[in-house]
Structure 1
Amino acid sequence: MNVPHPPYYLGCPSWSENAWREFLYPEDARPNELLGLYAQVFNAVEGNTTFYARPAAATVQRWADVLPEHFRFTAKFPRDISHEGDLRLHLRAAEDFIRLMAPLGQRIEPFWLQLSSSFTPGRLGELATFIDEMQCPLAVEVRNHGFFDRGEDERALNRLLLDRGVERICLDSRPLFSCVSTDPAVLHAQSKKPKVPPRPAALTQFPQVRLIGHPVLDANEPFLLQWVEKVAGWIEEGRTPYVFLHTPDNIQAPLLAQRFHQRLMARLPGLPSLPELDRAPPVQQLGLL
């Protein structure tokens, strides 16, 4: 049965959480089946795995064999490229990484460059050169507070990206930091994620959003509804947003993503439902209603 594709990309930061067998994957699913199962429900995934380690060429080919053409894998440049010194010194490594990921073709659209908090406005020249040298679709996430002051530094960043057709990734960590908890997973996430204001830039046809959710699903509602309205507006403008949902330990990330889609369906009548796996539990067990 052909299921219509939604007019935006929705996913989670990974696909290989064993805990998802409790509500998303079949209990007997083998590890090498998880990506294919994930892609039956969601049409995008954050390529966090490539930030921490380059995959083997055979692994990339397996991903390409499993993922449908309409799927999007936003592969992050490895952290030795994005986080270790002058970006201009890593151009060859970045080109090698793009070649490594080539079997995925247009399913990697865009590549993500996640910059550290130490990447200051004074280094925009490095970023300009990096973008100009890369022959691939790009999106950039900045974390230095100088890019969030609504001053000239932020305007310079936005102009640079807009002029080059590069999207600015919007990170919204407000739900995470609204949580007061002693849970180690929450504390770890709060220590790692930047506390910066959301900047839904939409500089290109493909706005990019990462929402780091509260561990209590219902506590995310006010943030979800804000994003539902923003994403619906982008879709109505003819844009194709990318939306990725996290939770502190990401165990509930698919539930949060499914909840987001349900809210968006209410806002955009006619939006198709997300597919369900044949062997997955019925939706009423997901605690989404």
Structure 2
Amino acid sequence: MTKGIVRIGIGGWTYEPWRGVFYPVGLPHRRELEFAAATFGAIEINATFYGRQSRASWAKWAGAVPDGFQFAIKGSRYCVTRPRLADAGEGIGQFLAQGMSLLGDKLGPLLWMLAARRRFEREDMAAFLRLLPARHDGVTLRHVIEPRHESFRDPAFFELCRDHDVAVVFGDDDEFPCIDADTASFRYARLQRMRETIATGYDEGDLDRFASMARAWGEAGRDGYLFLINGAKVRAPSAAMALQERLGA
């Protein structure tokens, strides 16, 4: 069996507290993406949740990162906050048409984060998953759902995701349930409980646990994406590097 590729990353690359802590003193801001992409295997872009990005931006981002690097893209809020997910078709089309296909093979999974109040409704979710295309402009797409309500801990939800090769976020979070479900040809984790009092964000035991989880994904032939996101965000780069060291990535 071919091992999967595991990529460790952070959320975004422009964050003032990282300057002088993660980014070297004096590094021009325009080179921060280049520096972060040389350090990590992936970055999750959050800005796409709030608004469209220009084609020029997508092309610039593609040119700033090395081969093998991937961006994970958060899906538009206008698609996932409507009363019925089944009505998101037009919004999904507009979201995909903004130019992200310019990333080519540097385009990683598309993350669809559901509202915390949204409960699992089988038919509505089934209709939404049918709206998610497998390809766009000749580029293969991977989709991942982040449910944030306990009702999604349901075999019927997992079955729907398996039918469409859609991953379910493993979310280490203080507020929302962690639903650990193997539903796709890849896995996706968002690790959000870093503490500023710990230099690496998470303690040694947690980092070892996440590394073992990621290693098992790769050995099972699954590509894996693990992002250090919230909590003490200033610690995200050091946490991601500590996790990479454990995996030899």
Per the shorter chain, which TM-score range? 0.7 to 0.9
% same residue: 25
The verdict on how the C-alpha distance between 1:134 and 1:147 changes in structure 2, with shifts beyond 3 A counting, is closer
Offset, 1:249? 4.0
Give 1:94-173 correspondences, 5 Å limit: 94-100=92-98, 101-122=100-121, 124-135=122-133, 136-148=141-153, 154-173=154-173
Post-superposition Cα deviations, 1:109-164, rounded to whole Å, max 9, x if no partner, equal 21111111222112x3222222222223211110112123xxxxx11110000111
Offset, 1:247? 4.2
CA separation in 1, counterparts of 2:230 and 2:89? 33
TM-score normalised to structure 1 length: 0.75
Report SS of the residue matched to 1:156: helix
Cross-structure match for 2:40: 42
Cross-structure match for 2:31: 33
CA separation in 1, counterparts of 2:84 and 2:97? 21
Question: Which of 55, 70, 80 matches 1:72?
Answer: 70
Cross-structure match for 1:53: 51
- The question of 1:254 aligning with 2:240 is answered no
Identify the range of structure 1 (136-145 vs 218-227) with the bigger mean alpha-carbon deviation: 218-227
Cross-structure match for 2:61: 63
Residue type at the aligned position of 2:188:
Q
Report SS of the residue matched to 1:207: strand
CA contact (8 A) 1:200 1:209 kept: no
CA separation in 1, counterparts of 2:123 and 2:118? 11
CA separation in 2, counterparts of 1:247 and 1:134? 27
Residue type at the aligned position of 2:148:
R
Q: How many residues align?
A: 235
TM-score normalised to structure 2 length: 0.87
Report SS of the residue matched to 1:139: strand
CA contact (8 A) 1:208 1:241 kept: yes
Offset, 1:208? 0.4
Offset, 1:49? 1.6
Post-superposition Cα deviations, 1:84-130, rounded to whole Å, max 9, x if no partner, equal 322232211211211212211232221111111222112x3222222
The verdict on how the C-alpha distance between 1:249 and 1:84 changes in structure 2, with shifts beyond 3 A counting, is farther
Q: What 5-or-longer segments of structure 2 have no aligned partner?
A: 134-140
Offset, 1:8? 0.9
Question: Which of 13, 18, 36 matches 2:11?
Answer: 13
CA separation in 1, counterparts of 2:185 and 2:203? 27
CA contact (8 A) 2:78 2:91 kept: no
CA separation in 1, counterparts of 2:9 and 2:87? 32
Q: What 5-or-longer segments of structure 1 have no aligned partner?
A: 1-5, 149-153, 178-193, 265-270, 273-289
Cross-structure match for 2:136: none
Report SS of the residue matched to 1:262: helix
- The question of 1:202 aligning with 2:182 is answered yes
CA contact (8 A) 2:168 2:181 kept: yes
Task: Choose 1 or 2 for highest CA Rg.
Answer: 1
Q: CA RMSD in A?
A: 1.9
CA separation in 2, counterparts of 1:159 and 1:221? 35
The structure richer in helix per residue is 1
Cross-structure match for 2:137: none
Report SS of the residue matched to 2:223: coil
